[in-house]
Structure 1
Amino acid sequence: MALTPTDIHNKTFNTKFRGYDEDEVNGFLEQLMKDYENVLKKNEKLEKTVSDNEAKITHFNLIEETMQKSILIAQEAAEDVRKNAVQESKLIISEAEKNADRLVNDALAQARKIALEVEVLKKQSKVFKSRFKMMVEAQLDMINTEDWDDLLKYELDTSSVENVAEKELDIPNVDSLDEELVKKP
């Protein structure tokens, strides 16, 4: 067991012949007791301070550990977010490329279809033009034939027809009918 200031204060020494001066020894013990008591108090304060500091260090170590874990979790979360963003952007780009390819393919197919339709229409136009030209030429040939000229040169003797018509049908003169029709409004 450790020595206490009370132990020092209560300590008694036996006296012998030619021993130490009792007052001087008692004064020294009294001074030693006070100094030892001060040292014990200081030691007690230091131990309390050390204990408080150790508690604070433990507390700060826990805070530091928690912060390191939080930083690590935040870094992992940021990395996950970054990876997800990269993956999502790749998916968006892929979808956009697919849609663009589809649109281009649709446009090309539509252009091919229109080009084919244009070619068909050109062929039909050529056929129609050719047929129309042939028909017009045939009509022109018919108009330009001598038969047509002969038809235009032919004159009909209407007097004999008028006489027959008057006799058979009892119709008045055709010229007089023409005049009557012209007079009527």
Structure 2
Amino acid sequence: MALTPLDIHNKEFRHSFRGYDEDEVNEFLDQVIKDYEALIRENKDLESQIQTLQDRLNHFTNIEETLSKTIIVAQEAADEVKGNAKKEAQLIIRESEKNADRIINEALVKSGKIALEIEELKKQASIYRTRFRTLLEAQLELLKTDSWDSLEGRSIEERERRSIDSVI
């Protein structure tokens, strides 16, 4: 059991013949009591400081753990966002490639149709030119003849219709 200042104060020594001077012993005990009380107070203050520091250490340890967990969660969230962004980018690229392929295919189909239409128009223009040339040549031949007014008693209009019908 620990010795208290009160135990020191209440301690009684036996008197013996030729013993120590009682006043000197009491003065010494008073000094021991004061010093012992001071040590006890200092010890309590130090224990209080230790407890305060331990509480602060626990608090900062908790903060450190929380920050560490927060950093881990933030890193995981960042990784997830990064992964989602990569997936989204890949989807956008794939969709863009599909759209590009579709646009190219549509353009090829349209260009093929236009090429066919151009060929058809060239044929029609060639046929038209041939028919027009034939008509003009027939008309020129008709103009070259001397008796173009009285050919077999037909009228000019009838001859023109015949020459146009023969061309068409």
Q: Name the TM-score, length of structure 1 as normaliser.
A: 0.72
Q: Secondary structure at the match of 2:146?
A: helix
CA distance in 1, matches of 2:81, 2:109: 41
Which is bigger in relative contact order (C-alpha 8 A, separation at least 6)?
2
CA distance in 1, matches of 2:29, 2:81: 75
- 5 Å-filtered alignment, 1:141-180, equals 141-144=141-144, 148-150=145-147
Instruction: Name the amino acid aligned to 1:3.
Output: L
Deviation at 1:81, TM superposition (A): 1.7
CA distance in 2, matches of 1:109, 1:74: 52
Q: Does 1:24 align with 2:24?
A: yes
Q: Secondary structure at the match of 2:127?
A: helix
Deviation at 1:138, TM superposition (A): 3.5
1:75 maps to: 75
1:102 maps to: 102
Deviation at 1:101, TM superposition (A): 2.2
> Measured at CA, do residues 137 and 26 of structure 1 come closer, stay the same or move farther in structure 2, by a change above 3 Å?
same
Instruction: Name the amino acid aligned to 2:3.
Output: L
CA distance in 1, matches of 2:114, 2:71: 63
CA contact (8 A) 2:8 2:29 kept: yes
Moved over 6 A (4+): none
Deviation at 1:90, TM superposition (A): 2.2
Deviations 1:68-109 (A, max 9, x none): 212221222222222222221222222222212211221122
CA distance in 2, matches of 1:152, 1:106: 60
2:120 maps to: 120
Instruction: Name the amino acid aligned to 1:47.
Output: E
Deviation at 1:44, TM superposition (A): 0.8
CA contact (8 A) 2:5 2:37 kept: yes
2:131 maps to: 131
Instruction: Name the amino acid aligned to 1:32.
Output: V
1:39 maps to: 39
CA distance in 2, matches of 1:39, 1:77: 55
> Measured at CA, do residues 109 and 6 of structure 1 come closer, stay the same or move farther in structure 2, by a change above 3 Å?
same
CA distance in 1, matches of 2:148, 2:6: 169
Q: Secondary structure at the match of 1:149?
A: coil
What is the count of residue pairs matched by the alignment?
151
Q: Percent identity?
A: 52
Q: Which moved more, 1:50-59 or 1:92-101?
A: 92-101
CA distance in 2, matches of 1:16, 1:56: 56
CA distance in 1, matches of 2:123, 2:148: 40
Q: Secondary structure at the match of 1:14?
A: coil
Deviation at 1:34, TM superposition (A): 1.0
Aligned-residue Cα RMSD (Å) equals 2.2
